[in-house]
A = this chain, B = another copy of it.
């Protein structure tokens, strides 16, 4: 069926991710994500269309086929398992792992992925809180909301970060917030949209709207 090049895999994964949030993805968006040009994207669209990996009609649009979706999920699975490995076993920080996983995700051995998965104890989420598809491509979706949407008084657990930047990690480390940390919102200030929050075992403190927007949480209990 398929022996895909690294380049083809990167296109497939990128199109998959873009289609998650935006149903009508265009060549320019893909080009921007892959640091290439729209003309190159068109070339690849034709190639992937010929391989039945996506459905493409010129000038009308394109989307991954079922087969393409499956391939994409396989790459995402590998990417996130390797990220987990790098953080849990090799002591990388989560702001360092994406680039390396971008290469590791293209190692072809299927057996390797499954052995790695076992070795890691079948993790469900990567270091950024993103779900790891299982070997069938199923994703466990945890109902999560943005911290800015968490009602005052509700308690929640940080489940994912919206950015993988060192800057975010630096701030979170300083504020003692990590994935798994319990948070409840005490007050919101309309002047600058900052939030007063309380975490596990500390006195309340204030965080910016920017920071809150970068945090996703799962509800624990309502008030």
- What range describes how many residues of A lie at the interface? 10 to 19
Contact bitstring A114-154, B, C-beta under 8 A = 1, else 0: 01100100000000000000000000000000000000000
Contact bitstring A92-119, B, C-beta under 8 A = 1, else 0: 1000100110011001110110011001
Copies in the complex: 2
> Are A100's CB and B119's CB within 8 A?
no
Once bound together, how far apart are the Cα atoms of A58 and B163, in whole Å?
53
> Are A92's CB and B104's CB within 8 A?
no
Q: List the B side residues contacting A7 at CB < 8 Å.
A: none
Q: Which of A127-185 contact B (CB under 8 A)?
A: none
A119: min CB distance to chain B, Å: 6
A160: min CB distance to chain B, Å: 24
Kindly report which residue of chain B lies nearest to residue A106, judged by CB atoms. B103
> Are B103's CB and A108's CB within 8 A?
yes
> Are B107's CB and A100's CB within 8 A?
yes
Interface: A89 (CB within 8 A): yes
Once bound together, how far apart are the Cα atoms of A115 and B96, in whole Å?
13
> Are A90's CB and B104's CB within 8 A?
no
> Are A115's CB and B90's CB within 8 A?
yes
> Are A107's CB and B103's CB within 8 A?
yes
A58: min CB distance to chain B, Å: 32
Interface: A35 (CB within 8 A): no
Once bound together, how far apart are the Cα atoms of A109 and B99, in whole Å?
9
Q: List the B side residues contacting A91 at CB < 8 Å.
A: 115
Once bound together, how far apart are the Cα atoms of A112 and B89, in whole Å?
11
> Are A109's CB and B100's CB within 8 A?
yes
> Are B92's CB and A115's CB within 8 A?
yes
Residues of A whose CB lies within 8 Å of any CB of B are 86, 89-92, 96, 99-100, 103-104, 107-109, 111-112, 115-116, 119
**Selected A-B contacts with CB under 8 Å, 19 pairs:** A86-B112, A86-B115, A89-B119, A90-B112, A90-B115, A90-B116, A90-B119, A91-B115, A92-B111, A92-B115, A96-B111, A99-B109, A100-B107, A100-B109, A100-B112, A103-B107, A103-B108, A103-B109, A104-B107
**Beyond A91-B115, A103-B107, 5 extra complex contacts between A and B, CB < 8 Å:** A92-B111, A92-B115, A96-B111, A100-B109, A103-B109
